[in-house]
């Protein structure tokens, strides 16, 4: 089975589409439902089940989560309800949908997709896929292999501030920043990552990826190339489907540990 349903849980919307995991292409138009206020587990599981019904999907399902995921359990909850902490979310979604559900960190899913089909493909050394939205998600890729659950959006910048509270897309909207001023904040964040990891490439994903012409000319790094995500904001959907396919068939991408 090569067509797997991928579902991407975000702070403002939950979107999904069936994906041909051999090519990384969506096989139907994606469908988006607003994230329920508070993003409580019981409310989110109903949206996931609704997306499965919408596509009439019978096989396994890959689902992203905006936090640390280990062995199907969600271990952090930066931008969702605290009830997710320690929850067996694989079991929650499997029961709600009647399908085999496999969970993965949202930025890790984007990283998997970009490393296989997108802007991070065949990049030697270290590459980062960074998703800018409600928060900042990070996927660390080394020679094409994911190092899971890095959560580098929580690095401290500007004193006691988390990077994502200062440089996410939500922070841009909250502080009414133009793209140039937002890019200055992102540049500070990228330069900090450069200092720590000396990457070969930054791939910028999330909702801002489709507006790269607004921010890309204003980003400044010491030496690292910066490009928008090739799969734009679909990378999470694609990566979730790829992870589910690999774990369901015991091949491709292994479960994060």
229 lies in the same domain as 128: yes
pLDDT in tens, the chain (257 residues): 589 999 999 888 999 999 999 999 999 999 999 999 999 999 999 999 999 999 999 999 999 999 999 999 999 988 899 999 999 999 999 999 999 999 999 999 999 999 999 999 999 999 999 999 989 999 999 999 999 999 999 999 877 788 999 999 999 999 999 999 999 999 999 999 999 999 999 999 998 999 999 999 999 999 999 999 999 989 999 999 999 999 877 754 444 43
State the Cα–Cα distance between residues 20 and 120, nearest whole angstrom: 19
Supply the pLDDT for residue 100: 95
Supply the pLDDT for residue 257: 36
State the Cα–Cα distance between residues 227 and 129, nearest whole angstrom: 10
90 lies in the same domain as 116: no
Map tokens 């900042």 to a residue.
136
Q: What is the reported pTM?
A: 0.92
Supply the pLDDT for residue 256: 42
133 lies in the same domain as 96: no
Supply the pLDDT for residue 157: 86
State the Cα–Cα distance between residues 129 and 140, nearest whole angstrom: 7
29 lies in the same domain as 141: no
Which residue, among 230, 242, 236, has the nearest Cα to 204 in the 3D structure? 230
Structural domain of 204? 109-233
State the Cα–Cα distance between residues 212 and 214, nearest whole angstrom: 5
State the Cα–Cα distance between residues 234 and 232, nearest whole angstrom: 6
Supply the pLDDT for residue 1: 59
9 lies in the same domain as 100: yes
167 lies in the same domain as 216: yes
Number of compact structural domains in the chain = 2
**What is the arrangement of strands in the sheet containing 225-228, beginning at the earlier edge strand?**
145-147, 136-142, 126-132, 201-206, 225-228
Whether residue 225 lies inside any domain: the answer is yes
Supply the pLDDT for residue 251: 58
66 lies in the same domain as 87: yes
192 lies in the same domain as 244: no
| CA–CA–CA angle 232, 237, 238 (5° rounding) | 80
218 lies in the same domain as 135: yes
Supply the pLDDT for residue 113: 97
Phi-psi region of 123 (alpha: psi -120 to 50; beta: other; left: phi over 0): beta
Whether residue 141 lies inside any domain: the answer is yes
- Asked if 11 and 39 touch (Cβ cutoff 8 Å), the reply is yes
């Amino acid at each position: 089975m090569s067509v797997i349903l991928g579902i991407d849980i975000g702070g403002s919307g939950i979107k999904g589409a069936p994906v041909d995991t051999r090519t990384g292409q969506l096989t139907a138009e994606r469908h988006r439902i607003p994230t329920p206020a508070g993003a409580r587990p019981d409310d989110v599981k109903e949206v996931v089940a609704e997306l499965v019904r919408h596509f009439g999907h019978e096989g396994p399902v890959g689902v992203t989560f905006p936090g640390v995921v280990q062995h199907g359990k969600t271990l952090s909850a930066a931008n969702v309800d605290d009830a997710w902490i320690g929850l067996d979310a694989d079991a929650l979604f499997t029961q709600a949908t009647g399908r085999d559900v496999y969970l993965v960190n949202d930025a890790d899913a984007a990283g998997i997709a970009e490393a296989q089909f997108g802007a991070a493909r065949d990049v030697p050394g270290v590459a980062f896929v960074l998703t800018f939205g409600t928060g900042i998600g990070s996927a660390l890729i080394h020679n094409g292999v994911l190092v899971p659950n890095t959560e580098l959006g929580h690095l401290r910048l500007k004193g006691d501030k988390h990077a994502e509270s200062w440089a996410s897309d939500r922070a841009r909207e909250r502080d009414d920043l133009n793209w140039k001023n937002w890019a200055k904040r992102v540049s500070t964040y990228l330069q900090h990552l450069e200092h720590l990891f000396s990457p070969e490439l930054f791939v910028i994903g999330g909702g801002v990826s489709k507006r790269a012409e607004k921010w890309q000319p204003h980003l400044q790094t010491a030496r690292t190339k910066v490009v928008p995500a090739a799969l734009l904001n679909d990378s999470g959907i694609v990566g979730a489907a790829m992870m589910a396919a690999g774990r369901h068939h015991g091949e491709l991408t292994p479960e994060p540990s």
